[in-house]
Amino acid sequence: MAGTGPLLEIRDLVTEFRTETGVVRAVKGVDIVVEPGKTVALVGESGSGKSVTSLSVMRLIPKAIGGIVGGEILFRGRDGRVRDLVHEPEPAMRALRGNEISMVFQEPMTSLNPTQKIGAQIAEVARLHRKLSRADAWKHAIEMLTLVEIPDPARRADIYPHQMSGGMRQRVMIAMALACNPALLIADEPTTALDVTVQLQILELMRRLQREIGMGILFITHNLGVVAEIADTVAVMYGGRIVETAPVEELFDRPSHPYTRGLLDSLPSVDHAARAAGKVARLKAIPGSVVDPRNPPHGCDFNPRCRWVIPACREAVPPVFPVSPTHGARCLRWNELDG
């Protein structure tokens, strides 16, 4: 790729929605950097603002209900030019979507056209962005199905989405997203609805394709087990804000925000000694519910659920504290979370 620097740099992004009860701020000053060839995992519970962030990058939020009201989304294209996607004209965004920036959605059956054959849907992307002939686009579709390891790709290209399993449909979505060798892939919970064994296959497929194509990935998930498998860097999101960012190993070794600690504590683990003694391992759930964006608490969004809360947490939103040169946490007590 021409030029040097981040592939994607989100700076102080703010996205709002208009509702019957007023304006709801779903994304509040988000900062994320994705480097070429690297994977950033955006992690948090449902309702944290992850998908809204990804839709903001793609500029897919309908203007009738809301949109971006602040910040920058800087994207470095294949030509080395840096564009602020917040202000790109819609025709320019249509040229980027599916071409230089692609997205894989959580549920392929809601994204694939049930009335069109698999090959035709992939070929459509190639014809639109790569200006291939109908015959060449169909050939390219079969090549993409081969790339994502779908058996008998020529025959599978000629069937409909409902004739495939969930794992195969997700591979089709990945094939469609990669049809034009995008620089950036946004994957929004791409393995959530799949069996564990199929999840691992999809993750390994994405890692392999990333090595071959060199794309950057923004991987959105609520599953920290998946994060450990695929991410280079992790951004933990809560209440529309990034509350902690760190390289994946450092985040697991030294979580420095109570919400991150809660997510890690809720992961199931196998204690063989306890199991041999007949003891049942109990998961540690985070108390309470995800913050309501219509009525957020004053101060830190996590303070109603936090066991480390102090009065200062309810006074103002904490800044990001430098845990290390590559690790930041938005918590007043980041250096006290040892118990």
Same domain for 91 and 239, yes or no, is yes
Same domain for 59 and 21, yes or no, is yes
- 275: pLDDT strictly greater than 90: no
Q: Is 311 inside any structural domain?
A: no
Percentage, residues of the chain above pLDDT 90: 67
- 208: pLDDT strictly greater than 90: no
What pLDDT score was predicted for residue 225? 83
Q: Is 209 inside any structural domain?
A: yes
Same domain for 80 and 147, yes or no, is no
Q: Which among 240, 260, 285 is the end of a domain? A: 285
* pTM for this entry: 0.90
Q: Which among 285, 302, 322 is the end of a domain? A: 285
What pLDDT score was predicted for residue 166? 84
Mean pLDDT of 50-75: 96
Same domain for 152 and 261, yes or no, is no
Mean pLDDT of the chain: 90
What pLDDT score was predicted for residue 1? 46
Structural domain of 189: 1-100+183-285
Q: Is 307 inside any structural domain?
A: no
Same domain for 236 and 132, yes or no, is no
Same domain for 147 and 218, yes or no, is no
Residue 81 CA from chain centroid, whole number: 24
Tens of pLDDT, residues 103-125: 988 777 778 999 999 999 999 99
Same domain for 77 and 193, yes or no, is yes
Same domain for 164 and 84, yes or no, is no
- Read out DSSP for 296-331? PPSSSTTGGG-TT--GGGGTS----EEEETTEEE--
Tens of pLDDT, residues 280-336: 556 788 999 899 888 999 999 999 999 999 999 999 999 999 999 999 999 999 999
Mean pLDDT of 145-150: 90
Q: How many domains would you assign to the chain?
A: 2
Q: Is 299 inside any structural domain?
A: no
The sign of the CA dihedral 290, 294, 300, 303 is negative
- Residue 271 pLDDT grade (very low, low, confident, very high; cuts 50, 70, 90): low
Spatial separation of the C-alpha atoms in residues 10 and 241, rounded to whole Å: 12
Contact 137, 123 (CB under 8 A): yes
Q: Is 57 inside any structural domain?
A: yes
Percentage, residues of the chain above pLDDT 70: 94
- Residue 219 pLDDT grade (very low, low, confident, very high; cuts 50, 70, 90): very high
